[in-house]
Structure 1
Amino acid sequence: MNVNRLATAAILAFVCFILFVYPDPQGDLYTILRYIVFGLLIVILYQFSTSDNDIYEPEKEKKEEKSSSINRGLDIRENMHDQYEQLLQMVFSVVMAINDKYKASFYMLDGSGSQMKIQSATKEGFKRSIPTDNEVIQTVLLQEKAVLFQQTDVRESWDGLFEEESWRGSECVLGARVLYKNAPIGCILVQTDHFSTIQERDRNLLTSLGRFVSLSMVKLDNIEKLSLDNYFHYQIANLLNSMDIQSEVKGLYEKVRDLCRTFFNYDKLTVSVKQSDGEHYKVVLEDGYSGDVDPEKIYSIKRSIHGRGFRAHETVESSDMNEEFYESGRFEEGDLENHDFKSILTVPVIVHDSVQYSITIEKQTSTRFSDSDKNVLELLALTFGSIVSWQQQYWKMHENAMHDGLTGLLNHKAFI
């Protein structure tokens, strides 16, 4: 109730007291007073009937938006992707400025290195993927300068570049390679309906454009690595500071999962712990692909690919585990037939000079993990091992403090 209505209610109570409770006095003065009070009562009732209702608006709590590690990491990657898209748009703008009748596309090698995947194009008609053994693609990737091909000269390879269409024979395509650290990783393809429209100046410009994109790719990659590495080190420090040494290790598994989601692209993440017999391990956390692991089951360290992390005491990596490893299963014999995985990166977690855990990321495609991936996962494993070690030391000291050193029985501190 607001102040005005409270005052009005008080006056109303006073008026009712004068009219109905106060002893009946005699005289003209009191009669006049009664008329005045009655008039005031009318005014008060009118005020009640016309005044606005009290409106109570609860104070809205200001919620601070806390950016999680996952969102922050995604923001960095999305920002890099936006800059990459802007680079492609600039490339196409330059091509169209050279000749607005040109059709341009940009291709990059996929993870396997056997296909060129289209990233973007100014027009439809380009193949979504081109095998790297295509004669045109091979020539473009090997030549320092832009190369011109006429349709009649490369008929078989031509069909691998473009969707089915009736060709007159006068069409041609101009290709310039894109490098990353002196290795060809992509190309710019420019197609036109007649070879006469392409001039020597255009070839030189496309060569320069390919070199510019190569330089830009390195710069973008360095910016992304620097941003992610700096943020990763910040998150590692935050992990160390935020972990309660008295907390359960399960909470640490979840933090490891969140960090891996932020900094790695994978189809499956697995965290495993060695069992007390030293010959088996158990999966304590999995993320991504599911259905290939029984969390209640233990697996052999000697006879499984995932067991290599416990045996090797060092980082294990493969882009084709079927070919490179003698074990016939990731967890148990024959499971690769039902769950097709190609690439694996496993880092052991060392606690008190022995491997007690392993962190593994896998992909279903054949892909080489980068040095940055290895370094980041190794640092995460080192931090994970340090926190587990501290927790084990704490609980060991806590156990010793609660028991008598000679008898092993609970001492008086356990009952305080």
Structure 2
Amino acid sequence: MMNKYSKDTLILFIFTINVLSLVFLGDNSPILGLFNKLISIAGLSWLVNYFYKTLKFKNSSEGIDLNQHKDKYIIKNNPNSQFSDLIDAAFSLIKDISHDFEAGIYFFQPDSKLLELKSFTSEIFIDSLPLENNFIEKLNGDNQQNLFYQKDNKEYWHSLFKEEPIKGSECVILQPIIINEVIAGFIVVKSDHFSNVNENNQKIIKHIADIITIGILDLDILEKTINNKNDQNQIFDLLTDINLSQSESDILNKFRNIINYYFEYDCLTFSAINKDGKNAVIKLIDGIKKNLPSENSFNVNGTINGLSYIKNDIVVGSNEQYNLFRFSPNEKNDFSQNNFLSVPLFLNESLWGAITIERFTHNNYNNKDKDLLSLIARALQTSMSWFIEYQNIYEDAIKDGLTGLLNHKTFNDRAKEEIERARRFQHQLVFLIYDLDKFKRINDTLGHPYGDYVIKTTAKIIKDNVRSVDLVARYGGEEFTVVLVNTNKEAATTVAKRIVQNIQDYNFSMNGEEVNMTISCGLSEYPKDSDTLKDLIQFADEGLYKTKENGGNDVTIYSSISG
């Protein structure tokens, strides 16, 4: 049987012969000429139609990112194979946290009643563990992270790891994988030195375990909800996608693509509830963008897009069933028919947002659509939870916990970037280092809580006196650093002295105790004093100590003491 491509080829061949005959043979016969002209007209009509279909196909393909990048969403034809890819992605992420980390994952096997090693990054792990293992017995069983040091567990160390040289600085994280309140396995992460393990990377490892748990549970849900294996794979990929660096916009666009792939709709709306619980803000809209609220938000009461917020549940319906406006009573009703499906989104068991799809036709959404969109919503909830938690982890990693300023390491990284930018654009930078005068007396006489209050207040005064483009960090203890961007030392000196004066004038008061504080400052300039971070910090520090020698409560410019 001839397929559509063979037919198109035959038509093109006949049309080509016809054109050649007209060119080379001419109109020798009136009948033959008329016949050739009719074939030419038919051929031209076919060409126009073929061009239109090709262009339409191209445009529709460009409208669906998922089809252009299908391999991004379908890894293999087997969800179990995809789960293996999830484990590999988890291990890759663990190695990204620290190259020093080695990881293994164990799952409980009912037949052997052992925890068996399923995957690993190094050969150091024991192949199987009994449930009576000393480390496992010490776990709480409440899915809390557990960190063990080799020096404290010397006699049990080789119950986890094969014989290898011991330094004494090693530690291991055992993160349970909990399914239906039962321990199903463990992620085991070993570090050669305990200093490489901190609270933030422990949080990430816990979240990796949570994602693996979700993946295991969702495999069963997928089998029951979606019959098509390729469809299962795509949704499973969403449910178990590990990408900590995605933005909120990246996440929503990815889910727009997957919903576009599975559903016919005229309008798709992602929205999020405001803190007042009465209004929702539109995060993303795809499709027909008519009658949208001018301020990009809408009242959840009395609107189709607000129904799932009000009912706190999935809503399938039409404008005939619910006599409501889409977003606002002020909108013009251009659609006589509106069938919709809306699913609420929950983060940390609290209502966060909603997905709403609308068809301005008589075609309604059914229970299968409801189940599928619910599953996609579940995946979106997981991705958004990751995003929010990552933002918290990222903030914790780059900022000082007491003041909210940049921490020492982040300041050094950002300062190097500013030096490179200043070198590229030929502008100046000024480095300031501040240190509170006689701060030790505060901790000694009024206690550390009062000392913390002074440091936090000082940080705020400094931050309030510089621009948002400038860098401000707590460099350690009662010491602060500032980089004033695209500023010369004359302008910077004015800023530096204003900060010194504001702190001198501030009345520090807590729990009925009042104190007055002063602060000292040193200043260096890029590129006049140096073009390296190390020197600029050192020179500003020398200016600071010169201020201290002179009694404090002032600013010293490095160039004034360097000769």
Whose relative contact order is higher, 1 or 2, with alpha carbons under 8 Å and at least 6 apart?
1
TM-score of the superposition, structure 1-length normalised?
0.43
TM-score of the superposition, structure 2-length normalised?
0.32
